[in-house]
Amino acid sequence: MQAFAAEQAPVIERAEGFFLFDVDGRRYLDGISSLWCNVHGHRVPEIDAAVRAQLDRVAHTTLLGLRSPPSIELARRLVEAVPRGLNRVFYSDAGATAVEVALKLCVQYHAQRRDRPGQRRLFASVGGAYHGDTFGSISVGRSDHFHRAFAGMLFDSVALPSPVTYRIPAGETEESYLQFCFDEVERVVAQHAHELAGFIVEPLVQGAAGILVHPLGYLKHVREVTRKYDVPLIADEVAVGFGRTGTLFACEQEDVAPDVMCLAKGITGGYLPLAATITTDEIYSAFLGEPHEGRTFFHGHTYTGNPLGCAAALASLDLFERNNVLDNAARNSDILREELQQLARHPHVGEVRQKGVMIGIELVEDRDSKQPFPAERRTGHRVTLAARKRDCIVRPLGDVVILMPAPAMPGDLVRELCRATIESIDEATSL
Ligand SMILES: *Cc1c(COP(=O)(O)O)cnc(C)c1O
């Protein structure tokens, strides 16, 4: 019973800054940004005030047939912030819905485009990709765990090999394997160009796959190939957006402008559920016409563009500028690299992957052979429990320990998080 009690999830009652407090008053450092969404900390005075001020006006009105000042203002601010050409904003309320909107937009766009209308029903996505948990988003996602129960119910998509080199097929070198991954992009897109409604990618980093970091140039290559073959590129920035990779959006690092961008998680600073799917005039204009033409995009969620969420998002964007959050994230990125250096020779650490303030530490039974721990050992979960003893909240993905300190976290807390994590890994792997 004792062990069971220790495994029970803490009941979090309140938070302050970068700390969470459970009902017994125990304090934990939030090492995963409350599942990758918190940006400036919790109970941030400016965001609290913005939400309260909106609450004094109205908590929710619909965007179906009506508009609201915060949703209008936020759309304007987002369009200024995202890569050029993306200037039409469609709100929803979760990362998965932002992806659903992107997929449906692309299919309907091809059917209604005025230059070369046609039926395109296929999507391309990358091995191990995660785009959310709804049927459409799992159809382009690539995880057995998420698919198994729904075999036969998902729509078809084509898979590209993920361009990462930790475990490459026998007979390949890192160089030859990456070359293969790059070549596959053009081969697959060319082969299916007439039926591809879109190509969806997590720019730079595949988050839920275990912080798999793509090599420089991959995103740009995907952009060039998709442009060449007239296939819309959907950038799913749900995890990487809002500072996680070092820039406000990951696409900036390769100077890529996608045709559709999906935003959620960090958009409200991690306060409230809100999402945006942003696209180009080109795609938007395929939906314009007289009512009888039936070009409307029939998609809307009840809480789409919720004013409280939009108010929080506006306050969060202000804080990015006022507090130089991207500079802080860059310093934290250096701290993480420096502190985690000592894991490079750890016998049970296969690889430490990092982009900006996103960290994936892959635990293995044997460092040289890369042999994983037996799944039933639940090594990653043991790290969670060991970290909890050290007053830190971390949540691994399988045996990959994820650290995702909020971009605005002070450097000393980032160091604290790293040290507690290293001790926890030692404890969990030596038992
Ligand atoms: C988390 C995530 C999603 C899904 O977002 P939800 O808000 O949980 O629906 C989609 N894409 C990526 C890349 C994500 O990391």
Residues 69-110: tens digit of each pLDDT:
999 999 999 999 999 999 999 999 999 999 999 999 999 999
CB atoms inside a 10 Å sphere around CB 123:
27
The confidence score (pLDDT) of residue 2 equals 45
38 within some domain: no
Question: How many A from CA of 203 to the centre of ligand 1?
Answer: 13
- CATH number of the domain where residue 166 is located: 3.40.640.10
Ligand 1 pocket mutation pick from 204, 265, 277 by most atoms within 8 angstroms of CB: 265
201 lies in the same domain as 166: yes
What pTM value is reported for the model?
Answer: 0.97
Bridge partners for 233 per DSSP: 199
The confidence score (pLDDT) of residue 5 equals 55
- Of 322, 353, 383, the domain-final residue: 322
- Of 272, 306, 322, the domain-final residue: 322
121 lies in the same domain as 237: yes
202 lies in the same domain as 121: yes
Rounded Cα gap, residues 379 and 431, in angstroms: 10
Residues 2-52: tens digit of each pLDDT:
455 567 899 999 999 999 999 999 999 999 999 999 999 999 999 999 999
280 within some domain: yes
With helix as H, strand as E and coil as C, how does 263-284 read? ECHHHHCCCCCCEEEEEEHHHH
The confidence score (pLDDT) of residue 8 equals 86
252 within some domain: yes
More confident residue, 7 or 430: 430
330 lies in the same domain as 353: yes
41 within some domain: no
- Of 277, 302, 322, the domain-final residue: 322
8-state DSSP, 211: S
Question: How many A from CA of 128 to the centre of ligand 1?
Answer: 14
With a 6 A CB cut-off, is 208 part of the ligand 1 pocket?
A: yes
The confidence score (pLDDT) of residue 1 equals 39
The two three-digit tokens of residue 264, written as one number: 């959620």
Is the distance from CB of 109 to CB of 283 less than 8 angstroms?
yes
355 lies in the same domain as 283: no
58: Cα within 13 Å, side-chain hemisphere: 11
Q: Is the dihedral of CA 177, 349, 240, 237 positive or negative?
A: positive
With a 6 A CB cut-off, is 30 part of the ligand 1 pocket?
A: no
257 within some domain: yes
With a 6 A CB cut-off, is 93 part of the ligand 1 pocket?
A: no
Ligand 1 pocket mutation pick from 103, 130, 260 by most atoms within 8 angstroms of CB: 130
292 lies in the same domain as 374: no
CB atoms inside a 10 Å sphere around CB 8:
7
With a 6 A CB cut-off, is 96 part of the ligand 1 pocket?
A: yes
236 within some domain: yes
In percent, how much of the chain has pLDDT > 90? 96
DSSP string, 155-184: PPEEEEPP---SSPPTT--HHHHHHHHHHH
With a 6 A CB cut-off, is 100 part of the ligand 1 pocket?
A: no
- Its domain, for residue 188, covers 48-322
223 lies in the same domain as 201: yes
The confidence score (pLDDT) of residue 286 equals 98
335 within some domain: yes
Q: Is the pLDDT of residue 181 over 90?
A: yes
Considering the chain, what is the average pLDDT of its residues?
96
Nearest residue CA, atom 11 of ligand 1? Answer: 131
140 lies in the same domain as 196: yes
360 lies in the same domain as 417: yes
299 lies in the same domain as 219: yes
9 within some domain: yes
222 lies in the same domain as 84: yes
Is the distance from CB of 188 to CB of 179 less than 8 angstroms?
no
DSSP element (H, E) containing 139: helix 135-139
200 lies in the same domain as 329: no
With a 6 A CB cut-off, is 238 part of the ligand 1 pocket?
A: yes
End-to-end Cα separation, the chain, in angstroms: 20
Question: How many A from CA of 116 to the centre of ligand 1?
Answer: 32
Taking residues 247-252, report their average pLDDT: 98
- CATH number of the domain where residue 417 is located: 3.90.1150.10
Q: Is the pLDDT of residue 161 over 80?
A: yes
Is the distance from CB of 93 to CB of 273 less than 8 angstroms?
yes
The confidence score (pLDDT) of residue 316 equals 98
The confidence score (pLDDT) of residue 431 equals 64
Give how many domains the chain has, as a whole number. Answer: 2
Rounded Cα gap, residues 64 and 66, in angstroms: 6
